[in-house]
Structures are given as C-alpha cells and as structure tokens.
Chain A
C-alpha cells in the first residue's frame, strides 16, 4: 500500500516506465501546388531525452508552440517521430508496427485540452466511456453487455459522476463534468500511463481545482503515471513530482519540482518564473521582475547556437555560436546552458 502521506509516486521512485531518447519531430514545409518540394522544416521537437518514472507526474511547461503537444503525441506514437527512440517498460514503441502497437494501446492513453468539446453529441455517456472497451475488447476478453455496464458505472463513480446518469448525453453536462467523462473514458482500459495535454486549461478556476484533485486522487488510488502538459506554471508546480521546461522544441531544464522552482539553473526558467503573477497584492507590489524582451522566434527558423540566446539576459558570443549540451549539472538536475554549473554561474542578478 502506498503511504498516503508521501507525495504521489515517492515509493519505487527509480523504476522507469517511459524512456525518451533523442526524440525529434520535424514537419516539412512544402511549397508548390502539384509538384510539392520541401523548402524547410518546422523543428517542433528537436533532440529531446528524458525518463518518466512509474507512479510519478512529470510536468511539461513552456510557451505556446514550444512542442509540448507534439512531444506527447510522439511518445504515444499517435504521430511517428522523425528520429529517436521511445520505450514503454522494456518495449521499444518506435520499433513496433501498427498491429503490435495496437496491442499496447490500452496501456497508454491521452487526454486533450478540448477533447471534452468534441464528445459525440449523439452518444450517451455510457457509449462514450465504453467505446475503447468495444474497440479493444476482443483482444483481452469478450465483454458481456452486463459486464460493460457495470464497468462504466464503476468508472463514473470513480471520477465523481452519478452512475445513474449513464444514459444521458454529453451536452447535458457542464465543462468540468464533460472532462470527467473524458477521464473515465481514458481510464476504461486500465492504462498505466496517461499523457494529459492541457486537460484543465479551458476550464474555469473553480472547476480546475476539482479536476486537478481528481487527477491526484486517481493517481494515488490506481498508481497512474502522468505526463502533465500545461502552460500554467503554478498548476504544473502544484501537480508535478518533476518538471521539464521546454523552449522552441528543446528541453532547457529538467529537475525535481522543488529544486527546479527553488533553485532554477537555466536563465529561461528563471525568466518564466519571474513572469508568473502571484495572487497576493503585497508580494506583487514588491516583486522585481526579470522582463524578457521580444517574443518566441519561429520554430521554422530557430536561432543558431542556443535557441534562447536572442532573448537571454546572460547571452554572450558563445551562445549564438554553439548549441549548449543538455547535461546533468547536479544530481538528477539537467539543463542546457553554457553557464550552468553548481556554483550559480547561470543565475540572473535581480534588476
């Protein structure tokens, strides 16, 4: 039994469930109407490596277009990577064909930001939740109607919805309730690993808390492993055990949550944290911000050298010249910055 007092997944910390090695996903930029030729590539994800440990939540943050969703989809092989390897347990997903992948699909699921808006309005809640079981049911065991009904009722109960509402249609539910329906659907095949892609971004604050608490509760009860994607740093900080910070298709920094937020190494992480408002007027008034200039460059033409150097307050000549290696600077604390070391070499002096 996991001890409820310890943070989610603190036990058996070291068992790795998902391993990502040198992941790249480049989208070709084509020109021409009939004879299309490739004139470039959007480097949506460019050489990303990390592990996800069983039972933990790995948060992924970064600004719009930095490649968070593409990473999530590539891990689940919903989009095949351009390069790199992905492992689930000891299976290399990138080496498998569709039929073998199909057998593994039940073990990994994805929940999208807007998926609750795209629930089929002509299906009842019961049909929506049972659909993955119908599709994948044959390979495990043939599920009887009664068995399926029981399972759906159990799932509704699990996500905090009334099991008697099994025949209702999705438009009869609020946004937060529809996201619960989605979660129930994702859980129906007993997955181990779930990619949550901005699952609460479209919800109101008072509802976000309900759904986040549900995610945490399900993790405690079912031992789930999450890749939790969001652009809301405060929420990622709240839910994650470890956090990866992405910028223009690359991981800038990855560390244990407390260490990342208390002692960030990468200048981008420091800037990002400094930009997040804190709901406390007295703190906000006395805060000194490191304000970044400009906006994120296009991933079709990423800057040479370190992709962050065009906005980095610490940038020097080397940064526009050489891409910094993504390396372990402190135990379990990775960063890609020429100046990062264990002596605060990459700390930005507060203005």
Chain B
C-alpha cells in the first residue's frame, strides 16, 4: 500500500479575544491509498479543524498554523498542502480531494440548483462543456440514489430532504473522481434508518471507485462498520491510532478504553451500569505541558504530569500516546 497523505506534527491555534485556543497539538498520522481512516473524538477534540486546515478551509486569522506539514502524494511526489498557494489549492480541492460537510444545507449554495452545483465543478476542474457536464451531473445524482434524477437536477437544495441533500453533497464531492474524500460527520444530523442508507452508499462508491476516505465521526458504532483504521483524538491530541479490530479488541489508551465501555450496545441486555469517565475534557486555553487526559485518567501516575507522552508502538500499526502500558498493567519502563 502506498501513502497518499502524511501529516506530521500539525499544530494549530486560534488567536481569539479571550485568548489562544490550542486546537491541535502535534497531530501526526498517515493515510494509505484506498483505505478508510476514521477520526473519532468528542466535540471540540479537533477532528474538523484537522482536516479543514489541510484544505485551507479555516479563517486565518484567527486560525494560525504554528508548525507541521501535510504531504499529499501524487505519483510518489509529495506536495505540502499547508504551503500551497491559493490557486494551487483551488485546483486540489474538488479535483483531487473532495469534502463532504456535516451540515449539507449550509454547505450547499441555496440560490443555485443542485444540478448546476455539480456541473460547475465538472466544467471548472475537468474542462467539460456545459452539455456533457449536465448529463454527467444527472448520472451522478442517479448514482447516489436520488430518484428521478433528471427532474431533481433542477431542484434547489431546500427542495431536498435531509438525506437527499447529503446524497447531493456526496455527488458533488465525488464528481471529479477525486483520489481522496473527506467526510465530516456526514450522517450525524440524519435519522438512523437514513444514516444506514448513506453509510451503505458511501461504502459502495468507495468500493467501485477505489477511493481513499477520511471519515470524521463521534459515533463508535459507525466507525466499526466503515473503518480500516482509526485515529482517536482527545483535546487536540492524537491519543491512539490502530487498525479497527485491534482498537476495539485491545484499546491501548485509557481514554479509548473508557469510551468503549461507556457505550450502551443494542446487543447487550445486561443492566450493568455503564462505565463512565469522570470529569470533563479540559478547556484548551493553555499549551499542553503533560498528558491532556491525566485529570480524568484512572491510571494516572506522577510521570503523566511531567510531559506530553510520545507515540509508543503497541502492536502492528498500533500506537498510543500513553505512559502506562495497559496491556501489561504497569507503567512503561523506557527512558
């Protein structure tokens, strides 16, 4: 497998009136071509900001990238997305990397028909003529499961239901056959039966087109169904990354372990109390000087308050930012 995206030490802050928000604190991960990487974490952990910063979708200021790089590979040649010019980024967005937003209604242009919004990017990125683009757009609407695509082509976003809007967003994101698609909570606002439809659709499209997908969500149930690998974020830190089975079977970070046992499951009829994580996430106004989970961690010991833990390998393709060796039940012994 080849690497398509390699993010290193991405550190980003928001400079606001109330102070500096340390939104991302040294995020590193790779995305392999053709895989689905899920990014999970609670509200405010930095999932959206991570992917939006790569595509220059954040307002700067207040956002400022303090350091880091994000290498996007084309035929083995890396380009740093963070250093790209406006014009170059414009070409990458849509053509190379598609973006599906959580809130389709505000991401779509309300005064342009859905069909034209798809057609426009075909004309712009692929240089299609208007008529070819129109036909292609109708095919795409059909492909994402919008009934009566020919008539729907002329509809405005508000004439679509929530699920159909999300389908239209997917059609726009995949229109130019990008190599990578970023889906930011594409199902969170939907009902569970519609969520299941969209997840199935996304899986089918990825299979057919061999696309790379980064899927942002806070739903560990959805992750279990779609991901090959998972990145867990907590308070702007990448606390664990692992192949999906390994993460659920052997979580190596106390936060991940806590999250998994805090979830009720439809297939579990016991009436045990849910294991809960005490306390709440920290505010991110201070630069981290130690593990950000230390306040809530049941395994905390003195070392956790002295430094931010580095990534420790914890199995094949599995790494965790924790000084405690959960598997063996003792602090790590390295220096």
A-contact bits for B176-212, CB 8 A (1 contact / 0 none): 0000000000000001111111011000000000000
Judging by beta carbons under 8 Å apart, are A63 and B193 in contact?
yes
Chain B residues, Cβ within 8 Å of A274: 196
Interface residues of B in 195-237 (CB under 8 A from A): 195-197, 199-200, 218-225, 227
- Decide if A292 is an interface residue (CB 8 Å cutoff): yes
Judging by beta carbons under 8 Å apart, are B259 and A205 in contact?
yes
Judging by beta carbons under 8 Å apart, are B218 and A237 in contact?
no
Judging by beta carbons under 8 Å apart, are B277 and A206 in contact?
yes
Judging by beta carbons under 8 Å apart, are A276 and B162 in contact?
no
Judging by beta carbons under 8 Å apart, are B191 and A261 in contact?
no
CA of A119 to CA of B280, assembled, Å: 19
CA of A293 to CA of B146, assembled, Å: 11
A213-B274, A279-B263, A292-B193 known; A258+B269 contact, CB < 8 A: yes
Task: From the candidates A63, A177, A208, name the one contacting B280 in the complex (CB within 8 A).
Answer: A177
Highest count of chain B CB atoms <10 Å: which of A176, A209, A283, A292: A209
Judging by beta carbons under 8 Å apart, are B218 and A204 in contact?
yes
CA of A16 to CA of B267, assembled, Å: 29
- Decide if A7 is an interface residue (CB 8 Å cutoff): yes
Judging by beta carbons under 8 Å apart, are A261 and B274 in contact?
no
- Decide if B271 is an interface residue (CB 8 Å cutoff): yes
Stretch in A40-48, A227-235, A313-321 with 4+ CB within 8 Å of B: A227-235
CB distance from A179 to the nearest CB of B (A): 12
Interface residues of A in 145-197 (CB under 8 A from B): 174-177
- Decide if A28 is an interface residue (CB 8 Å cutoff): no
- Decide if B132 is an interface residue (CB 8 Å cutoff): no
A-contact bits for B245-289, CB 8 A (1 contact / 0 none): 100100000000011101111111101011111101100000000
Highest count of chain B CB atoms <10 Å: which of A239, A275, A279: A279
- Decide if B161 is an interface residue (CB 8 Å cutoff): yes
- Decide if B79 is an interface residue (CB 8 Å cutoff): no
Number of chain A residues whose Cβ lies closer than 8 Å to a Cβ of chain B:
50
CA of A210 to CA of B273, assembled, Å: 9
CA of A272 to CA of B192, assembled, Å: 7
Closest residue of B by beta carbon distance from A173: B280
A-contact bits for B140-178, CB 8 A (1 contact / 0 none): 000000000000000000000111100000000000000
Interface residues of B in 31-86 (CB under 8 A from A): 42-43
Given contacts A234-B221, A257-B269, A284-B225, 18 further A-B contacts (CB under 8 A): A204-B42, A205-B263, A212-B264, A231-B191, A238-B264, A275-B196, A276-B221, A277-B219, A277-B221, A278-B267, A279-B263, A280-B248, A280-B267, A284-B221, A289-B196, A292-B193, A293-B197, A295-B161
- Decide if B239 is an interface residue (CB 8 Å cutoff): no
A204-B43, A205-B218, A295-B163 known; A276+B197 contact, CB < 8 A: no
Judging by beta carbons under 8 Å apart, are B224 and A277 in contact?
yes
Chain A residues, Cβ within 8 Å of B220: 205, 279
A205-B220, A213-B274, A292-B193 known; A279+B280 contact, CB < 8 A: no
11 CB-based A-B contacts, threshold 8 Å: A63-B192, A64-B191, A175-B280, A205-B42, A205-B262, A234-B221, A234-B264, A234-B265, A289-B200, A295-B161, A295-B193
Judging by beta carbons under 8 Å apart, are B280 and A282 in contact?
no
| B interface, CB within 8 angstroms of A | 42-43, 161-164, 191-197, 199-200, 218-225, 227, 244-245, 248, 258-260, 262-269, 271, 273-278, 280-281
B-contact bits for A264-282, CB 8 A (1 contact / 0 none): 0000000111111111111
Highest count of chain B CB atoms <10 Å: which of A204, A272, A276: A204
CA of A7 to CA of B225, assembled, Å: 32
Chain A residues, Cβ within 8 Å of B276: 206-207, 209-210, 213
Judging by beta carbons under 8 Å apart, are A278 and B265 in contact?
yes
Chain A residues, Cβ within 8 Å of B265: 234, 278-280
Chain A residues, Cβ within 8 Å of B161: 295
Judging by beta carbons under 8 Å apart, are B280 and A207 in contact?
yes
Judging by beta carbons under 8 Å apart, are A209 and B200 in contact?
no
CA of A64 to CA of B192, assembled, Å: 10
Highest count of chain B CB atoms <10 Å: which of A238, A274, A287, A296: A238
Judging by beta carbons under 8 Å apart, are A237 and B264 in contact?
yes
CA of A350 to CA of B271, assembled, Å: 28
CB distance from A68 to the nearest CB of B (A): 12
What are the nearest 5 A-B pairs in CB distance?
Answer: A277-B221, A238-B264, A209-B276, A275-B196, A209-B262
- Decide if A216 is an interface residue (CB 8 Å cutoff): yes
- Decide if A123 is an interface residue (CB 8 Å cutoff): no
CA of A161 to CA of B161, assembled, Å: 42
CB distance from A315 to the nearest CB of B (A): 16
Judging by beta carbons under 8 Å apart, are B266 and A261 in contact?
yes
Chain B residues, Cβ within 8 Å of A287: 225
- Decide if A120 is an interface residue (CB 8 Å cutoff): no
Judging by beta carbons under 8 Å apart, are A271 and B267 in contact?
no
Interface residues of A in 231-248 (CB under 8 A from B): 231, 233-235, 237-239
Chain B residues, Cβ within 8 Å of A79: none
Chain A residues, Cβ within 8 Å of B267: 278, 280, 283
Task: From the candidates A209, A272, A279, A291, name the one contacting B274 in the complex (CB within 8 A).
Answer: A209
Closest residue of A by beta carbon distance from B187: A277
Highest count of chain A CB atoms <10 Å: which of B199, B248, B263, B264: B264
CA of A284 to CA of B193, assembled, Å: 15
Judging by beta carbons under 8 Å apart, are B262 and A291 in contact?
no
Closest residue of B by beta carbon distance from A216: B273
Interface residues of A in 1-52 (CB under 8 A from B): 7
CB distance from A293 to the nearest CB of B (A): 8
